[in-house]
């Protein structure tokens, strides 16, 4: 295990979350080889090793067998992780009772919004329906739905930072809306199933999250920038860099996800992110400044669509984290610290 990953897992599990609620439980995680849910799985395996007497068992659902097994190759032979290979939109082949369900199967990268919009929206609607039905059948103790800060749409600048009850325009006729509309529909499905069947659903709305293990070909701006710095290339921006975003380090975000799952209120949504916004141009400067010895530059090259990537029309997106802070969570790592750790994790590979 990489030193930075080990430090992250120690940091996450040292928080005051009621981890005992997961001890000895069966936990289904969809989209298991995804950047965010994979770290949640590693956190539970770390708890198994260092805290739990009765081990939790993880059922990791993913579409790509080779990719998910490669992601968890360091846990080969671990009897507490079982792989389920299937599309979450297909009928689920799960018979063992699931105590907790974490639904994170989704194509979050903007490069898929142009190349596979149908697949993007389906995981958040058809897949969500399948999992909610399973939760109702199994009387699951907890259900966590991965939504997104994209559900807020184009909010006015005076509504930033964005609270959980603030919403702007999402144009359903825009191709890029396949992601936001899918997440919005998934959220309402969660609330509807919770009301009708009593499922203890919690909803998280992550904003931009980065850290060790993210795919450097992800297509999102922060992944591109990290990839450039690690490779010693100048940073190429696909916009004028004026858009403002909030970037949250992975360990902080994962601690937030578990906080909502285990401490949050049912049928409620919580922003999870860093509430300090920064422009894309400002982020690029921070990244190149991390490695001054490489003499990297930031180059602007605007384009509406590169490799399926469709850029956002939202100028400012920064969350109000008051609601989740009431549960005892707050981000710990600054942008400079978090990206410094991220770059080091890739450079040492």
* 25 has pLDDT over 70: yes
What's the mean pLDDT in 107-124?
A: 90
What's the mean pLDDT in 60-89?
A: 96
- For the chain, where are the alpha helices, taking DSSP H only? 3-13, 35-50, 65-71, 111-115, 117-138, 177-197, 221-231, 250-263, 280-290, 322-325, 335-347
* 309 has pLDDT over 60: no
- The residues near 171 (Cβ < 8 Å, ≥ 6 apart) are 177
The reported pLDDT for the residue numbered 315 is 83
SS3 assignment, position 256: helix
SS3 assignment, position 249: strand
Rounded-to-integer distance, Cα 321 and Cα 318, Å:
9
The model's pLDDT over 194-238, given as tens digits with 9 standing for 90+, comes to 999 999 999 999 999 999 999 998 878 899 999 999 999 999 887
Q: Which domains does the chain have, with CATH numbers?
A: 3-210+249-275+318-334 (3.40.50.720)
The model's pLDDT over 275-292, given as tens digits with 9 standing for 90+, comes to 999 999 999 999 999 999
Q: What proportion of the chain, given as a percentage, has pLDDT over 90? A: 87
Phi, psi of 110, deg, nearest 5: -60, -20
* 308 has pLDDT over 60: no
| 132 within 8 A of 195, measured Cβ to Cβ | no
The reported pLDDT for the residue numbered 92 is 93
* 305 has pLDDT over 60: no
């Amino acid at each position: 295990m990489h030193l930075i990953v080990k430090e992250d897992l120690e940091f996450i599990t040292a928080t005051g979350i009621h981890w005992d609620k997961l001890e000895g439980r069966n936990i289904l995680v969809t989209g298991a080889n995804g950047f965010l849910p994979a770290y949640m799985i590693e956190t539970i395996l770390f708890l198994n090793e260092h805290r739990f007497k009765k081990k939790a068992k993880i059922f990791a659902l993913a579409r790509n067998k080779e990719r998910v097994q490669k992601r968890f190759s360091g846990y080969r032979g671990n009897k507490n992780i079982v792989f389920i290979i299937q599309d979450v939109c297909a009928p689920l082949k799960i018979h063992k009772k699931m105590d907790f369900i974490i639904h994170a199967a989704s194509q979050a990268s903007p490069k898929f919004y142009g190349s596979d919009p149908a697949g993007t929206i389906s995981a958040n609607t058809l897949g969500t329906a399948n999992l909610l039905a399973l939760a109702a059948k199994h009387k699951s103790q907890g259900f966590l739905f991965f939504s997104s800060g994209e559900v807020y749409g184009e909010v006015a600048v005076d509504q930033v930072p964005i609270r959980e009850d603030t919403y702007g325009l999402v144009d359903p006729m825009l191709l890029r809306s396949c992601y936001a509309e899918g997440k919005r529909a998934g959220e309402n499905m969660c609330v509807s199933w919770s009301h009708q069947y009593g499922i203890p659903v919690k909803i998280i709305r992550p904003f931009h999250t980065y850290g060790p293990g993210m795919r450097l070909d992800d297509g999102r701006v922060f992944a591109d920038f990290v990839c450039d710095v690690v490779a010693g290339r100048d940073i190429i921006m696909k916009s004028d860099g004026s858009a403002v975003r909030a970037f949250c380090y992975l360990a902080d975000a994962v601690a937030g996800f578990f906080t909502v799952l285990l401490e949050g209120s049912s049928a409620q949504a919580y922003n999870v992110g860093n509430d300090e916004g920064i422009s894309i141009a400002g982020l690029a400067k921070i990244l190149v400044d991390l490695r001054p010895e490489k003499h990297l530059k930031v180059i602007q090259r605007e384009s509406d669509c590169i490799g399926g990537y469709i850029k956002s029309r939202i100028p400012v997106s920064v969350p109000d984290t008051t609601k989740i802070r009431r549960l005892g969570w707050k981000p710990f790592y600054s942008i400079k610290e978090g990206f410094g750790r991220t770059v080091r994790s890739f450079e040492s590979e």
